[in-house]
Amino acid sequence: MKNSQQNRTYCLVTSCPDRVGIIAAVSQFIAQRGGSFEESNHHSDHDGQRFFMRNVIDANSLSISLAQFREQFAPLAQQLEMKWHIRDSDTPQNVVIFASHASHCLSDLLYRWHSGELNCDIPCVISNHENLRSIVEWYNIPFHYVPVDKGDKAPAFAKMNQIVTANSADTIVLARYMQIIPAELCRDYAGRLINIHHSFLPSFIGANPYQKAFDRGVKLIGATSHYVTEELDEGPIIEQDVIRVSHSCNKDDLVRLGRDVERAVLSKALRYHLQDRVMIQGNKTIVF
């Protein structure tokens, strides 16, 4: 639904206390520097306290550099008490993917990245199993095998942290990585650590959601992509979807059908994230 950006663009994302004149001030700032909008999105939260804005600007239309933009915009942003950032589409984010044994989400992300659907670099994939090495390396992406010792997970996560840091990861994606992420990593990557949970949250939190869905006899199963917080499966939801099932499906059918939903939902969530469409407010998201 969200349209593609083919030209070089700058994406300016802001949030600030709501008041009269924010759009006017920002759009005038941009217009005075020749900026032409490719897309512009606004949202006031429902109690009218905070205002969110995303502006995609044709980079070539601007009379100033990105550095100059940052410098000149800062005083206005300060005056409006803004939280803001601006991103150059020609500087893709580094996305490190954590995977486990299951291949469907990882394969789908790699395929879409290779097809140009995901504007990012993937410096490496980390997994606690070896079985996906071959497909990752087919894409010429380094694969790091970091097994997790059930008795002492700390060394594995230390190792993973080191790889993440060495690769300057902007965003981490858990592509059905089945380990609970340490609180510290959750905090360090708040709003930049994306998970796919194989249920329609808040139904079936935790382990074995397909078994739970089968046992409850639901008529639709789903998947949820969310930012990871320290509370398991409770972080801000980015995207969800469902698929119809029936009494003729056994648990393995749910798993099979669910795979298609999981990979569709995760890839959409990541795409929105990479396009700076997702803003977090409290425990909810705005997805422009």
Residues 227-286 that bind a copy of itself (CB under 8 A): 236-242, 244-253, 256-257, 260, 264, 283-286
By the rule CB under 8 A, 17 interacts with a copy of itself: no
Residue whose tokens read 């694969």: 143
In which residue are the tokens 């990541």 written? 270
| Residue 253 C-beta: closest distance to a copy of itself, Å | 5
CB nearer to a copy of itself: pick between 124 and 245: 245
Task: Please identify which residue in the block is written with the tokens 């512009």.
Answer: 40
Q: How many CB atoms lie within 10 A of CB 219?
A: 10
Please count the residues of this chain forming the interface with a copy of itself, following the rule CB under 8 A: 73
Q: Indicate which residues carry an active-site annotation.
A: 233
Distance, in Å, from the CA atom of 102 to the CA atom of 248, rounded to the nearest integer, reads 24
CB 65 within 8 A of CB 90: no
Whole-number Å distance between alpha carbons of 110 and 236? 24
**CB 138: neighbour CB atoms within 10 A?**
10
The reply on whether position 140 binds a copy of itself by CB under 8 A is no
Residues in 141-170 that interact with a copy of itself by CB under 8 A: none
Query: Residue from 94, 103, 119, 161 that binds a copy of itself (CB under 8 A)?
Result: 103
Q: Least distance in Å: CB of 8 to a copy of itself?
A: 15
Among the candidate windows 83-91, 166-174, 176-184, 210-218, which touches a copy of itself by CB under 8 A?
Answer: 210-218
What does the alpha-carbon distance between residue 210 and residue 199 come to, in Å, rounded to a whole number?
7
Q: Does 3 bind a copy of itself (CB under 8 A)?
A: yes
Cα distances from 95 to residues 5, 172, 175, 212, 275, in angstroms, run 19, 6, 12, 32, 13
Count of CB atoms within 10 A of residue 81's CB? Answer: 10
In the complex, what is the shortest distance from the CB of residue 123 to a copy of itself, in angstroms, rounded to a whole number?
Answer: 22
Which residue in 90, 258, 100 sits closest to 173, CA to CA?
A: 100
Options 39, 86, 191, 232; binder of a copy of itself; rule CB under 8 A: 39
Examine residue 4 and tell whether it contacts a copy of itself (CB under 8 A).
yes
Q: In the bound complex, what is the minimum distance in angstroms from residue 1's beta carbon to a copy of itself?
A: 6
Contact status: 27 vs a copy of itself (CB under 8 A): yes
Closest by alpha carbon to 92, among 195, 1, 5, 185?
Answer: 5
Interface stretch with a copy of itself, choices 84-92, 103-111, 150-158, 189-197 (CB under 8 A): 103-111
Residue 66 touching a copy of itself (CB under 8 A): no
Rounded to a whole number of angstroms, the minimum distance from the CB of residue 208 to a copy of itself is: 14
